[in-house]
Amino acid sequence: MEDGKEGLLKGLCAFLAQTLGEETEIVLHNSEGRILWIANGYITGREAGMVEQRTSMELLSRQSAAQGSDFCSGYKSFSRQGNPLKSSSFFVRGEGGGVDYTLCVNQDISAYLHLQEQLTALIGGVPLTQTPDPDKDTLDDVLMKMILQEMERSKPLDIDSREEKLRLIGRLNDRGVFAARGATATVCELLHIAQPTLYKYLQELKDTQP
């Protein structure tokens, strides 16, 4: 049964979808990862009623809470089709502090990044922003920032290719990311690949080592 808070959030989602236009996906999850409301789901290939893993969202919610915030904005993610997205998530917490709802905004930035690549060829590279801070970050924070940092290094328009995913996973493996608890599920969720596929990539990397 829909409560007053859920109804209010759905209304807010409808407002955001109409305001931000067709190139922006608006999606509302409940605490179980079920999609309660979505607009422009073609961007990520999702629809209402789907249930998704919550690993990466849980890491982001804990990271934002540690910083005294209820949202995480402007981080890079990718659609199932491999399109680069600029994403922001707002976490609606209950009385006990747990996340009851997550409102996500995903903007398809493919065209802008294509233009950025052209500009970068003229003015040079752009420094990475997801840099771990060992004095402030928790282990989960460091893990998420390391993953996002390596994703930033990938060419956005090539991230859907098998070769680019393999290179990205190789860099994460070299940095010891997969030794951390929960890293495998987080990487799979962010890259939209199954865990058996990730293990296959890791075995392939191992087989190619001298």
Q: What residue segments make up the domains of the chain, in order of their start? A: 4-208
- Asked if residues 150 and 175 have their Cβ atoms less than 8 Å apart, the reply is yes
pLDDT by residue (tens digit) across 117-142?
A: 776 666 655 444 455 555 555 666 67
Q: State yes or no: pLDDT of 189 exceeds 90.
A: no
194: exposed, middle or buried (C-beta count within 10 Å: 0-12, 13-18, 19+)?
A: exposed
Whole-number percent of the chain with pLDDT over 70: 82
CB 32 within 8 A of CB 52: no
For residue 96, pLDDT beyond 90: no
* DSSP output for 83-145: -EEEEEEEEEE-TTS-EEEEEEEEEE-HHHHHHHHHHHHHH----------TTT--HHHHHHH
Q: Which residues contact 154 (CB under 8 A, 6 or more apart)?
A: 164, 167, 168
Model pLDDT for residues 28-48, shown as the tens digit of each residue:
999 999 999 999 999 988 999
Superfamily of domain 4-208 in CATH is: PAS domain (3.30.450.20)
Q: How many residues does the chain have?
A: 210
Q: Which of 7-16, 33-42, 150-159 has the lowest mean pLDDT?
A: 150-159
Tokens for 81, please give them: 């089709």
pTM over 0.75: no
